[in-house]
Structure 1
Amino acid sequence: MQSRIPRQSSQEPGAQRADNDARLGDALAPVIGGARRRAVRDGDRQVDTAHLLHSLLESDPAVRAAFGDGPRIARLLGYLVQRSIGYGLRWQGRVEDSGAVPVVAGAAGFSPLASASMDDARERAAARGGQPRGTDLLAAIMADPQARAVEVVRRAGIDPREVCPLIGDRPGVTEECGETGR
């Protein structure tokens, strides 16, 4: 009997995507999966930093805590939901790119900034000697002032620099997070 499930070779995009997701570790796999589903549901061409932020807020209590009290989280989630139902239409069809990182073709469905943020999260975790956590990814996302997630945070009335000290476990995280960019 032949299987109904097609096999993927290591050359196919789905296999590459699984490999990229695995490098972020088990803790962030649900975050990446949630961001991918949100991008598809929103009709976006790529997973961007706002998709990652939305998924982080839904799944990681430490990330929610970095933003403070309930009303701030509610306002931020409200902006992210508005974006998913139409607020972000002006972004559709455009690649999220600040110009600070090179545009890489075939970035496994991620915008250049989202891809660079995931790489940065891995580096932050390696410097700490552990696996990437949601706060590593949040710090990486907040590090580029041109990121869509940073724009959404600002529109929600939250200064990204206020979030940074709450997520840092390394000296100098305030400078790395939202202040100087990449």
Structure 2
Amino acid sequence: MQSPVPCPAPLPGGAPAAADRRRPARGRRGGPAATAALATAALAAVAAGARRRALRGGDRQIDTAHLLHSLVESDPQVGPAFGGQAQPARVLGYLVQRSIGYGLRWQRSVEDSGARCVVREAEAAAAGWSPSAATALARARERAALRGDPRVRGLDLLAALTADPDCRAVEVLRRAGVDPLVLADRIGELSQQV
């Protein structure tokens, strides 16, 4: 039986999947050395966790809610952006409900919030990412580059997720009682401190 999310799938424009690192770099711009520096181990773990959630849920693609779930659960830098422990707990509670059936209306549908996709949609779909998730990952890389850092941090991805008001991750945040604009402001403040 074929899995609903292709495996292995590299981060769009970022670190190659493990199988890609074993192959020669021919045919790939920049090769593994150039792209591996773009993603931190933490971001790779977030992407892997999001992929596992999509597979477990039988979803066709990894969406922004999968990324948010994995990010809030695994990246310690993300928690302080919520301004306390109650908000991340509510977000995780909502996401757990979704994973056990609360969010079935999203299952087997492609997330596309209408945000201008930085990554070509065909490439994103082939790699198993929804267009919105691929765009969020690309925007996170852009944010890190603007900071002068080749490594993408969890706060970069969280900022990219909150920047798309129509993505599933922002819908989850709103339903959990988190104001995405306030969260974006906190992310900006924390980013200046780091």
Q: TM-score range by the shorter chain?
A: 0.7 to 0.9
Match of 1:124 among 143, 151, 160: 143
Deviation at 1:97, TM superposition (A): 0.6
Match of 1:17 among 10, 13, 30: 10
After TM superposition, the score normalised by the length of structure 1 is 0.80
**Residues 61 and 152 of structure 1: is their aligned pair in 2 closer, same or farther, counting only changes over 3 Å?**
same
**Residues 15 and 58 of structure 1: is their aligned pair in 2 closer, same or farther, counting only changes over 3 Å?**
closer
In structure 2, the partner of 1:166 is 186
Q: Which runs of 5+ in 1 are unaligned?
A: 1-12, 171-182
Quick one: distance in 2 between partners of 1:32 and 1:16? 10
2:50 pairs with 1:35: yes
Quick one: distance in 2 between partners of 1:56 and 1:20? 19
Aligned to 1:105, what secondary structure does the other structure show? Answer: helix
User: Could you tell me whether the CA contact under 8 Å between 1:101 and 1:112 is conserved in 2?
Assistant: no
Per-residue CA deviation, residues 95-150 of structure 1 (Å, 9 max, x unaligned), is: 11112225712411000000000000001001111111000000001101111010
Alignment size in residue pairs: 158
User: Could you tell me whether the CA contact under 8 Å between 2:12 and 2:138 is conserved in 1?
Assistant: no
User: Could you tell me whether the CA contact under 8 Å between 1:98 and 1:113 is conserved in 2?
Assistant: yes
User: Could you tell me whether the CA contact under 8 Å between 2:61 and 2:129 is conserved in 1?
Assistant: yes
Quick one: distance in 2 between partners of 1:157 and 1:93? 26
Quick one: distance in 2 between partners of 1:100 and 1:52? 17
In structure 2, the partner of 1:79 is 94
Q: Give the aligned residue type for 2:156.
A: D
In structure 2, the partner of 1:8 is none
**Residues 158 and 60 of structure 1: is their aligned pair in 2 closer, same or farther, counting only changes over 3 Å?**
same
User: Could you tell me whether the CA contact under 8 Å between 1:75 and 1:156 is conserved in 2?
Assistant: yes
Q: Give the aligned residue type for 1:160.
A: P
User: Could you tell me whether the CA contact under 8 Å between 1:21 and 1:29 is conserved in 2?
Assistant: no
Aligned to 2:79, what secondary structure does the other structure show? Answer: helix
After TM superposition, the score normalised by the length of structure 2 is 0.75
**Residues 19 and 50 of structure 1: is their aligned pair in 2 closer, same or farther, counting only changes over 3 Å?**
closer
Q: Which runs of 5+ in 2 are unaligned?
A: 1-5, 16-34
Deviation at 1:27, TM superposition (A): 3.1
Quick one: distance in 2 between partners of 1:37 and 1:21? 18
User: Could you tell me whether the CA contact under 8 Å between 2:161 and 2:167 is conserved in 1?
Assistant: yes
Quick one: distance in 2 between partners of 1:15 and 1:38? 15
In structure 1, the partner of 2:171 is 151
2:116 pairs with 1:101: yes
Per-residue CA deviation, residues 133-174 of structure 1 (Å, 9 max, x unaligned), is: 00000000110111101000000111111111211136xxxx
User: Could you tell me whether the CA contact under 8 Å between 1:39 and 1:47 is conserved in 2?
Assistant: yes
> Which runs of 4 or more aligned residues in structure 1 lie more than 3 Å from their structure 2 counterparts after TM superposition?
13-16, 18-21
**Residues 16 and 37 of structure 1: is their aligned pair in 2 closer, same or farther, counting only changes over 3 Å?**
closer
